[in-house]
Structure 1
Amino acid sequence: MKQSRTFIPTMREIPTDADILSHQLLLRAGYIRQHMSGVYSFLPLAKKVIRKIENIIREEMDAIEAVEMFMPTLQPSSLWKETGRWDSYGAELFRLKDRHERQMVLGPTHEEVVTSLIRDEVKSYKKLPLTVYQIQTKFRDEKRPRFGLLRGREFIMKDAYSFHSTVESLEDKYNEMMQAYSNIFSRLGLDFRAVIADGGTIGGEGSHEFMALSDIGEDTIAYSDASSFAANIEMAEVKVEYAKSKETLKEIVKVDTPGKRTIAEVADFLNVDPSKVIKTLIFKADEKLVVVLARGDHDINEIKLKKALQADEINLATEDEIKEMLSCKAGSIGPVKLPLDLKVYADHGVESIVNGVCGANEDDCHLVNVNPERDFAIDQYVDLRFINEGDPSPDGNGTIRFAKGIELGHVFKLGTTYSGPMKATYLDEYGKAQPYIMGCYGIGVSRILAAVAEQHNDANGLRLPKQLSPYDIHLVTINMKDEAQTKLSEELYHLLKSYRYDILHDDRDERPGVKFTDADLIGLPIRLTIGKRASEGIVEVRFRATGETVEWQKEEVTEKLQAFFG
């Protein structure tokens, strides 16, 4: 491809609204352009990379007997109402009406559509298991689109769905998919980890996320420094043996704490360690108020709390609700002398507190020398807190460390989460109707482009892996008016094309500095420069990954390129 005939609008300045490196580089190198918040065009370079990503995905999906199909983006609301997600999915769901006032959805995902399709077409256990997948554009009305392709309103996704007659069959496919995902991300040249994750709005029991390690990642990964354990921080189980002080229990004393409402303020004012303060919060779980306790140096994990309470929705109680129940503000709540109908749930760390501090349920007052069970009852101890760096790894091997990650893929064991409410059944070997047991497996294709850009760059631009580069070789002719240079360039261009290399030939009438700057920005793995020594048959070769520059005779170019590309 002649560069003068393609569309690569590079930029010299860093866009002011691009706040992470991948977004800056993909804009500056002419891969993408933004049309509005969270919506992008994929220009020719990006489209070629996306196609290569998709081909790797297809090869690995085909290898585990997943079959490709294509489902509609425009979905009827009736399917979402069958599963209840029309109401529960939230404001991120794009809802619209056609000219006949029929409600529809721009699909962020396809669980409902694929379940209805298989429900209508697959009636017997003899046709199971079955795995289908697609690659298509999805839509999500993000409240705050940001980080370029990492959090957009329109994005490219691969989603796969498997249907089974037994839990064992689902488990086999889940493990196959886990391996296929590991193969995909390894082939893409990404530094990643598979971590235990929460099902979120998709639901089901049991899921893993695949995370590309990156300092700009929105998710925190808790991993062991001595084993393969890794989990999203929201899902990491805490297994700590808390040491309990043997000090003598003291009598409760009420003290004034004017204006002290946060844990840090109270601990500092009373000269105690935050771990001695009992953090007391009131949550509304499916419209029912509950009290939740944790140590002052721990943070309550709402996902764990939601699971412990088996609630569909949890939110912190409002100031008005707290005031009506306890006649005090949130910063002064404590577990002593609560209304009898309030259930109290405590993190395991609370059990170790001796002569602690808590709110007095009276504004600007706290209680000192409070002890669990003696001074207040706890209905249930549960793992409710976020794991901390330095905690023991839940698998018993090593210590927890933290890293940031970009979510690339997510796999779920859905079970009957969708087939149950949608009455999607097959006939088993006894002729009895049974709900499909399902799995769901997603990959953010356009996110991968951003993750690759985050992990493969330097100060001058992108440095794309050979297997993903939009072109194999950047052929740069310094002076298109020089006969020797144009002759050698044309000779090499056609020769290399005959060897099936994909060539981007910079034949533009631009200064050498502009051409070299653009080449570094675009980030192809190898640059062949035809310059002043063209009449001698000498080609300057620059390897983008290392910055190394050498000279080759034109007769040895093909042999050495074959060695480089393998």
Structure 2
Amino acid sequence: MTRLSHLLLPTERQAPADAEAVSHKLMVRAGLIRQLGAGLWSWLPAGWKTHEKAVQIIREEMNAVGGQEMLMPVMLPRELWKRTGRDQIDELFKLEDRKGSELVLAMTHEEAVTTHVAQVVRSYRDLPLILYHFQTKERDEPRPRAGALRTREFIMKDAYSFDRDEEGLAVAYDRIAAAYDRIFDRTGLRWYSVESDVGMMGGSGAHEYMAPCAAGENEVALAPGYAANVEVASADAQPVDLPAPLPTPERVHTPGATTVEDVTRMLHVPAGALLKAYPVHADGRGLVLVLVRGDHRVNEIKLQNALGTTFRAAHEDEIRERIGPPGYIGPVGANVPILLDEAVADGGYVTGANDPDHHLRGVEPGRDFPFERVDVRTVEAGDTVNGHAITIEPAIEIGNIFKLGTRYSEPLGATYLDEHGKEQLVVMGSYGIGPARIVAAAIEQYADEQGISWPRALAPWDIEVIGIGKGDTPEKQAAAALYDELRAAGFDVLLDDRDAGPGEKFADAELLGLPLRLTVGKRGLEAGTAEAKIRRGLVDVDGGVPLQGAADTVKALWDTLP
């Protein structure tokens, strides 16, 4: 039996002082989680029930597409990560045992699962495979924040597909993507799938599943028929009025004008008529000058993809030695490779003159400097895709899928013999979901001023039954009988049997946010009914619920709830 008088549910009237995200505030206030250290959270009983509701939905849908559940250790030999080149990731916890053996705490399990497959898969007949587990992940997060949204330790469902070739991977990828669609539909979240960057995972393609909400730390570009993480989004830039190129660039005096704002004000031109210089030092390539419109921003993820290597911002002495004085650099006469963003249209631009206190006016790309055309800018709201303006909104990443190809099977020796006895590399995919992020996203999307408002699928209990009064009152006895009847009918029910006042009970019920609340008070008992309130919108149900034969009425009402 689940009675509030015996439940560890330490509700709070005030949110933690450092809490900014709604989910952080409410998960602590509702007694779902408690903090032990920076980025380290314990799930209390009500919170854990919700977490496991998400886990079960994920498990059912993964099993339905042929996934086989297993469990791999959190602590792994560092050697495996050295072989894939990922052991230097800053966020990876590294340690040694008492014998000096090098270990890591897994952020994800590509190395581990691929090692197992390399040991047991021999023939094409052993493929395809889909393996998954729910396991703790450790991440040396530099700035833990937002409660359960960005932590140093969390549970993730990570799945891995193993196929004979790219065609097999495409089939597995689509099958698991469809399973993800069903998972997020079943949770009751608002969500969408977007194109994303492969990041540290590597591979040839990736999608993220996003839940839009104000606390999201990702930005998503949306237009009819288009959705992409801003990290990789591309769109047609909004036009800008550009003057024609001058016959030759004109040198103009711009004392102290080292920013776009300074130059636009001094020369009376729009920011989009400037070329903003972003000098970087690329590994293996040296100094490179990146140019975008003055009203645009360089997207570092897209730039790294364009360079094909990692990079850092160039140091001032490097800039001064190779190009000119920082604040006044430009492409004309610069003896370095130049990358020009695709949004830079034909026209006459203002650029730095590579000379203190001077710029050039009327510069024409191509005529006045050579360049390589690339897409390296961050899209802006109002840009267009297929003629439709994009909007940009924050969202929480709740899942991701990657086409890994042979990124891990090659260094870890995962091969098989094909029909002709020839050795081939196993082709892989990787698929992750964070149950805690699903929980937090549900709170973010549906909470109101009173507290949480759970979707039915994720609520820790289906219904809360409240008996009014102190001691063993007739109202409490009727509430207990109603509780028993609903449990027998298959509902997961929480009974508030505490000797607290109605105001406290109602406030705690609205804070915890179960989908349906039934209250037995004196007037209702005399009329043979329990008051019924739907949590989403705090809607009173006309006539309440009869105390005799309540289960049938509640079942019909339950089917109408979000």
TM-score range, shorter chain: over 0.9
1:420 counterpart SS class: helix
Alignment match of 1:444 (pick from 431, 434, 443): 434
Q: In the TM superposition, what whole-angstrom CA distance separates every residue of 1:82-135 from its partner, at most 9, and x where no partner exists?
A: 001012x2x211111111111111111001111111001111111111010111
Alignment of 1:329-478 (within 5 A): 329=326, 331-339=327-335, 342-354=336-348, 356-378=349-371, 380-393=372-385, 396=386, 398-478=388-468
2:548 counterpart SS class: helix
For residue 240 of structure 1, report the CA deviation from its aligned partner.
5.6
Which amino acid in 2 is paired with 1:348? Answer: E
State the partner residue of 2:230. Answer: 233
Unmatched tracts of structure 1, length 5 or more? none
Question: Does the C-alpha gap of structure 1 residues 305 and 369 become closer, same or farther in structure 2, counting only changes over 3 Å?
Answer: same
Alignment match of 2:315 (pick from 297, 314, 318): 318
Alignment match of 1:300 (pick from 298, 301, 310): 298
Q: In the TM superposition, what whole-angstrom CA distance separates every residue of 1:402-432 from its partner, at most 9, and x where no partner exists?
A: 1211100010000011111222211111111
Which amino acid in 2 is paired with 1:415? Answer: G
The question of whether the paired residues in 2 share the 8 Å contact of 1:242 and 1:352 is answered with: no
Which amino acid in 2 is paired with 1:546? Answer: G
The question of whether the paired residues in 1 share the 8 Å contact of 2:406 and 2:427 is answered with: yes
Measure the CA separation in 1 of the matches of 2:216 and 2:25. Answer: 16
Question: Does the C-alpha gap of structure 1 residues 244 and 501 become closer, same or farther in structure 2, counting only changes over 3 Å?
Answer: closer
Measure the CA separation in 2 of the matches of 1:219 and 1:424. Answer: 34
Question: Does the C-alpha gap of structure 1 residues 477 and 243 become closer, same or farther in structure 2, counting only changes over 3 Å?
Answer: closer
For residue 293 of structure 1, report the CA deviation from its aligned partner.
1.2
State the partner residue of 2:108. Answer: 109
1:421 counterpart SS class: helix
Are 2:503 and 1:505 aligned?
no
Alignment of 1:44-193 (within 5 A): 44-87=45-88, 89=89, 91-193=90-192
Measure the CA separation in 2 of the matches of 1:375 and 1:499. Answer: 79
Question: Does the C-alpha gap of structure 1 residues 265 and 5 become closer, same or farther in structure 2, counting only changes over 3 Å?
Answer: same
Measure the CA separation in 1 of the matches of 2:199 and 2:31. Answer: 35
The question of whether the paired residues in 1 share the 8 Å contact of 2:292 and 2:344 is answered with: yes
Measure the CA separation in 1 of the matches of 2:464 and 2:237. Answer: 56
For residue 505 of structure 1, report the CA deviation from its aligned partner.
0.9
Question: Does the C-alpha gap of structure 1 residues 97 and 308 become closer, same or farther in structure 2, counting only changes over 3 Å?
Answer: same
Q: In the TM superposition, what whole-angstrom CA distance separates every residue of 1:222-269 from its partner, at most 9, and x where no partner exists?
A: 111xx3210011211234697896846343222222221111211111
For residue 364 of structure 1, report the CA deviation from its aligned partner.
2.2
Q: In the TM superposition, what whole-angstrom CA distance separates every residue of 1:141-188 from its partner, at most 9, and x where no partner exists?
A: 110011111111111111000011111110011111111111111110
Are 2:37 and 1:36 aligned?
yes
For residue 483 of structure 1, report the CA deviation from its aligned partner.
3.2
Measure the CA separation in 1 of the matches of 2:381 and 2:511. Answer: 38
State the partner residue of 1:528. Answer: 518
Measure the CA separation in 1 of the matches of 2:526 and 2:366. Answer: 91
Comparing 261-270 with 491-500, which one deviates more in the overlay? 491-500
The question of whether the paired residues in 1 share the 8 Å contact of 2:519 and 2:531 is answered with: yes
The question of whether the paired residues in 1 share the 8 Å contact of 2:238 and 2:382 is answered with: no
- Once superposed, what is the RMSD of the aligned Cα atoms? 1.7
Measure the CA separation in 2 of the matches of 1:40 and 1:553. Answer: 42
The question of whether the paired residues in 2 share the 8 Å contact of 1:281 and 1:333 is answered with: no
Which amino acid in 2 is paired with 1:147? Answer: A
Measure the CA separation in 1 of the matches of 2:495 and 2:340. Answer: 66
Question: Does the C-alpha gap of structure 1 residues 246 and 446 become closer, same or farther in structure 2, counting only changes over 3 Å?
Answer: closer
State the partner residue of 2:276. Answer: 279
State the partner residue of 1:199. Answer: 198
Question: Does the C-alpha gap of structure 1 residues 509 and 236 become closer, same or farther in structure 2, counting only changes over 3 Å?
Answer: same
Q: In the TM superposition, what whole-angstrom CA distance separates every residue of 1:303-356 from its partner, at most 9, and x where no partner exists?
A: 222222211x11111112212323412x111111112xx2111112334232x2
Measure the CA separation in 2 of the matches of 1:483 and 1:401. Answer: 57
Question: Does the C-alpha gap of structure 1 residues 459 and 435 become closer, same or farther in structure 2, counting only changes over 3 Å?
Answer: same
State the partner residue of 1:516. Answer: 506
Measure the CA separation in 2 of the matches of 1:219 and 1:185. Answer: 18
Q: In the TM superposition, what whole-angstrom CA distance separates every residue of 1:462-492 from its partner, at most 9, and x where no partner exists?
A: 1111121111111111114253123212322
TM-score, with structure 2 as normaliser: 0.95
Measure the CA separation in 1 of the matches of 2:485 and 2:540. Answer: 22
Unmatched tracts of structure 2, length 5 or more? none
The question of whether the paired residues in 1 share the 8 Å contact of 2:245 and 2:362 is answered with: no
The question of whether the paired residues in 1 share the 8 Å contact of 2:510 and 2:535 is answered with: yes
The question of whether the paired residues in 1 share the 8 Å contact of 2:406 and 2:428 is answered with: yes
Identity, in percent, stands at 44
2:431 counterpart SS class: strand
The question of whether the paired residues in 2 share the 8 Å contact of 1:238 and 1:383 is answered with: no
Measure the CA separation in 2 of the matches of 1:487 and 1:518. Answer: 21
Which amino acid in 2 is paired with 1:253? Answer: E
2:522 counterpart SS class: coil
2:58 counterpart SS class: helix
The question of whether the paired residues in 1 share the 8 Å contact of 2:238 and 2:383 is answered with: no
Which amino acid in 2 is paired with 1:65? Answer: G
Which amino acid in 2 is paired with 1:333? Answer: I
Which amino acid in 1 is paired with 2:464? Answer: H
1:201 counterpart SS class: helix
Comparing 172-181 with 530-539, which one deviates more in the overlay? 530-539
2:388 counterpart SS class: coil
The question of whether the paired residues in 1 share the 8 Å contact of 2:139 and 2:153 is answered with: yes
Measure the CA separation in 1 of the matches of 2:363 and 2:491. Answer: 75
Comparing 532-541 with 402-411, which one deviates more in the overlay? 532-541
The question of whether the paired residues in 2 share the 8 Å contact of 1:161 and 1:441 is answered with: yes
The question of whether the paired residues in 2 share the 8 Å contact of 1:300 and 1:386 is answered with: yes
Which amino acid in 1 is paired with 2:13? Answer: R
1:299 counterpart SS class: coil
Which amino acid in 1 is paired with 2:364? Answer: N
Alignment of 1:210-249 (within 5 A): 210-224=209-223, 227-239=224-236, 247=244, 249=246
Alignment of 1:8-19 (within 5 A): 8-19=9-20
Comparing 15-24 with 357-366, which one deviates more in the overlay? 357-366
Measure the CA separation in 2 of the matches of 1:111 and 1:480. Answer: 56
Give the paired residue count. 554
The question of whether the paired residues in 2 share the 8 Å contact of 1:525 and 1:545 is answered with: yes
Question: Does the C-alpha gap of structure 1 residues 246 and 397 become closer, same or farther in structure 2, counting only changes over 3 Å?
Answer: closer
Which amino acid in 2 is paired with 1:344? Answer: I
The question of whether the paired residues in 2 share the 8 Å contact of 1:488 and 1:537 is answered with: no
The question of whether the paired residues in 1 share the 8 Å contact of 2:66 and 2:130 is answered with: yes
For residue 196 of structure 1, report the CA deviation from its aligned partner.
0.3
Q: In the TM superposition, what whole-angstrom CA distance separates every residue of 1:491-539 from its partner, at most 9, and x where no partner exists?
A: 2222222112212111112121111110110011111112113355331
Measure the CA separation in 2 of the matches of 1:94 and 1:291. Answer: 35
